Amino acid sequence: MDAPEQPQLYLITPPVLDPETFPDRIARILEAAEIACIRLTLATRDEDEIARAADALREVAHARDIAVVITDHVLLAQRLGLDGVHLSDAARSVRAARKTLGPDAIVGSFCATSRHDGMTAGEAGADYVAFGPVGASALGDGSVAEPELFQWWTEMIELPVVAEGGLTPELVAALAPQTDFFGIGSEIWDAADPVAAFRALIAPLG
């Protein structure tokens, strides 16, 4: 039996970023390891702010052939020349986003801890589903996406899966055989040295 492939790495931006300085911050992460995709996830609803951040991020990512998706803003994904959208409402918007963005765009779906939502998202045309948080969190109702969910998914479903939220080196080691991507965000951006935090987090992957 072949050894499973190593999971790929998927970066999630902080909710607030400075488009002047963030490209340099993220470029240092991009130099530390191969990144498959970057998700622009901002707290602001200001279109101009989002556009400035997207322009800065797209430039640094596309220069390295890294896809960029944006959380929820389907029309902005199209307008700003991004590669797709990451939907935070489980399977509800997948079909509409796919219709708007077309067959070549990336459409991802965050399904929290719900196996049912993940399967529904896949049937509606999602390219991947994300489950989380995988670590203890006070966010939401405190539910955690358990390793058993990822194990079942990888055994039963072909659609790629992302493990995200509350990652630790121990969880990365435990989930590596059972996930296709690790979604990494606040675990590194909240650290004094994001590159060092990133290296420590992915160390179990070799």
For strand 106-110 and strand 35-40, is the pairing parallel, antiparallel, or unpaired?
A: unpaired
User: Confidence class of residue 5 from pLDDT cuts 50, 70 and 90?
Assistant: confident
Q: Which of 48-57, 141-150, 164-173 has the lowest mean pLDDT?
A: 141-150
**Is the residue at 118 inside a domain?**
yes
Higher-confidence residue of 139 and 116: namely 116
For residue 136, is pLDDT > 90? Answer: no
Number of structural domains in the chain: 1
Of 200, 204, 203, the residue nearest 192 (C-alpha): 200
Asked if the structure places residue 2 within a domain, the reply is no
Over residues 139-147, the mean pLDDT reads: 84
Residue 18 lies in a domain: yes
Which CATH number characterizes residue 67's domain?
Answer: 3.20.20.70
Is residue 2 over pLDDT 70? no
- Of 145, 112, 152, whose CA–CA distance to 129 is shortest? 112
Residue 38: which H helix or E strand, with range? strand 35-40
Q: Specify if 45 maps to a domain.
A: yes
Q: Within a domain: residue 57?
A: yes
Which of 65-74, 85-94, 133-142, 153-162 is the least confident region? 133-142
pLDDT tens digits along 58-109: 999 999 999 999 999 999 999 999 999 999 999 999 999 999 999 999 999 9
What percentage of the chain carries pLDDT values higher than 90?
93
Residue 1 domain flag: no
Domain span including residue 175: 8-205
Q: Which two tokens stand for residue 154?
A: 């990888």
- Residue 88: the pLDDT is 97
Quick check: is 3 in a domain? no
DSSP of 6-22: PPEEEEE--SS--TTTH
Domain assignment present for 173: yes
Q: Where does the pLDDT of residue 141 fall: very low under 50, low under 70, confident under 90, or very high at 90 and above?
A: confident
Q: What is the pLDDT of residues 28-47, one digit of tens each?
A: 999 999 999 999 999 999 99
pLDDT computed for residue 8 by the predictor: 97
Whether residue 3 has pLDDT greater than 70:
no
User: How far apart, in whole angstroms, are the C-alpha atoms of residue 175 and residue 134?
Assistant: 9
